[in-house]
Every structure is written in structure tokens, then in C-alpha cells.
Amino acid sequence: MKKNRKKIIQSEDPFAICTVSVAPLRIKPFHDTEMVSQLLFGEMVEIIDQKNKYWFKVRSEWDKYEGWMDSTQIFRIPEKEYHKNIEKQAYALELVHAAMSSDAIIPICIGSTLVRFDGMSCRMPLAKMTYSGLAIFSKNIEMDALRLVKLAMKFLHAPYLWGGRSPFGIDGSGLVQMIFKLNGIRIPRDVQDQIYLGEIVDFPGDAKPADLAFFEDSKGNIIHVGMIMEENKILHSFGKVRIDYFDHQGIYNQELAKYTHRLRIIKRIYIENAQQAENKIIRHTKIK
């Protein structure tokens, strides 16, 4: 005999939270179209358009990025709850760790958002979910270059994926964005917007760990970004997240025995100018 279950009623307000591990954000409302970004567990959106009951066009709360997503991968919440969730967030620091409730186990990855986290559990729309892994509260984070570099290493060997933001697939600008998210800093999603942040570092020899290096193609278009490490090395996503040598010409790949990316500029991002991007509407572009 089937048990009677209460009907789940979602809010009619145009706000929602991601309830799955990773959800694709697409350029059009079809599963076979380009993935321009991803939402991670606990990240929230504003719904700005709808195509039938299966597709919502959303704007990400974290970076104002817009795209279409499957309506079954988010849960609509009241506006009041949306704002409460923003006020108290923590970020998952484990590469992958389970969030559990009485009837669900969800594997969530590094950089996922734990809304209204109390140190033991986060409050999702249908239940509290226990999370026993490492996490850090957004308001307890202090900007520290060495910490940025240390957290960046967690993504080492993650495969390259256009539009990706998780350790199971990540692109160049997504890698940089997620490293800064783990330090409580909001920066734009795409490399063409990231380049406008921070202050110029005049010479490669003056670069410090956690500075960002931007690279151009033969036409001068910005096409790539990486984070500078110690000992003239750089962490970036090229085939996979990897560490290569870096100098005034660009990135030198020892395996290929050639330069793969041509240096355009180096920027040093401070918390003040990074957060200028928080209220900027960032739309999808063509370079990741």
C-alpha cells in the first residue's frame, strides 16, 4: 500500500536554490545546447523568464550570470528566505563530501554553498541536511594570497570542461572564479570581465603568488587566464588543471616543448576592487 505524501508546494516568488550537486546553465532552453556555466549545490538564482514548465531563464545570485536551466534542478523559495540565505552562508572545502537528510544523500563538491549553516547542517527547502566536512563561513574569511594558492591546488588535475565550475570539469575563468569564491570574494564569470579587476603588475618579475595572468590570441583577444604560483609557475586549466612554467612570453608547456599561451597582462586583485563586480550583470561570452 502506498504511503500518502504531502504535496510539495513551491513558492511563486521568482527566486530559487540549486538542489543538485551540479546543474548546467545553458545558452538556450534545450538539453543539447551549449553549457555556458554551472550552478553548484546551494547557489541561488532569480528567475527572469520561463519556457513551458521545464525551463527557467535565471540570473545567478553569486555572479549575476544568466542562462537557461532545467526547472527540476532548482526549488523555488520565498523572497524573504532568499535574502536570509544570502546573509548566512558557508562554503564547502572538501573536494567531494556528502550532505545528508533522512531521505537523501547528495554528493556536493568544493565551492558549494551551505545556506544558513550552523556548523553541522544547512537549511534546504525541504529539510535540514547534515554536512560533516570542512567548511568556512563567508564572513570569517580574510584575504590572504598564500591561502588562495593553497586552495587553488585542490583543483589540480580536474579535467577541462567548457562552462565548468566543479572539480569534475572546469574551464580557465571558472577555475579562477571558484578559487576566489572559496575566499569569499565575488569576481565575474568570464575572462573578458575578470581582466578589468585589480591593478596592473608592470613586469612578470614583480608578480606574486595569487596574481592573475591574462593571455591573448593573435588578434589581441583575451582568451585565457591563470593564477601565478611560486618559482615562475602558473596554475591554469588547459586539458586539465595543471602547473606550467611562466615567463614574460607566456606559458611554456614542457610536455609539448612550446609556448601554448601568449602573455597580455598581469593583474593583482584586491578585495575592494574584486567586489565592485558584485552588482554587475555578467552575461555569457565566448571565452572560458
Cell numbers 558584485 label which residue?
Answer: 278
Is the predicted pLDDT of residue 241 greater than 80, yes or no? yes
pTM for this prediction: 0.90
Residues 12-33, mean pLDDT to the nearest whole number: 97
Work out the percent of the chain whose per-residue pLDDT is above 70: 91
Of 246, 133, 235, which Cα lies nearest the Cα of 179? 235
Grid cell digits, residue 269? 586583485
pLDDT tens digit sequence for 67-107: 999 999 999 999 999 999 998 899 999 999 999 999 999 99
- How are strands ordered across the β-sheet holding 96-100? 105-109, 96-100, 128-131, 121-123
Of 191, 278, 279, which Cα lies nearest the Cα of 227? 191
Question: CA-to-CA distance for 32 and 98, rounded, in angstroms?
Answer: 29
The pLDDT, as a whole number, for residue 100 is 96
Question: CA-to-CA distance for 1 and 172, rounded, in angstroms?
Answer: 52
Question: CA-to-CA distance for 282 and 193, rounded, in angstroms?
Answer: 8
Most confident range, picked from 23-37, 258-272, 274-288: 23-37
Residues 127-132, mean pLDDT to the nearest whole number: 95
Residues 247-258, mean pLDDT to the nearest whole number: 96
Residues 6+ apart with CB under 8 A from 79: 13, 15
pLDDT tens digit sequence for 177-193: 999 999 889 999 999 99
Which of 143 and 187 is assigned the larger pLDDT? 187
Q: What is the average pLDDT score of the chain?
A: 91
Is the predicted pLDDT of residue 282 greater than 50, yes or no? no
The model's confidence at residue 283, banded by pLDDT at 50, 70 and 90, is very low
DSSP 3-state assignment of 147?
helix
Domains of the chain: 15-137 (2.30.30.40), 145-277 (3.90.1720.10)
- Region for 57 from its dihedrals, namely left if φ exceeds 0, alpha if ψ lies in -120 to 50, beta otherwise: beta
Grid cell digits, residue 212? 592573475
Residue 56: CB atoms within 10 A of its CB come to 23
The pLDDT, as a whole number, for residue 226 is 98
Residues 47-75, mean pLDDT to the nearest whole number: 96
Residues 257-278, mean pLDDT to the nearest whole number: 78
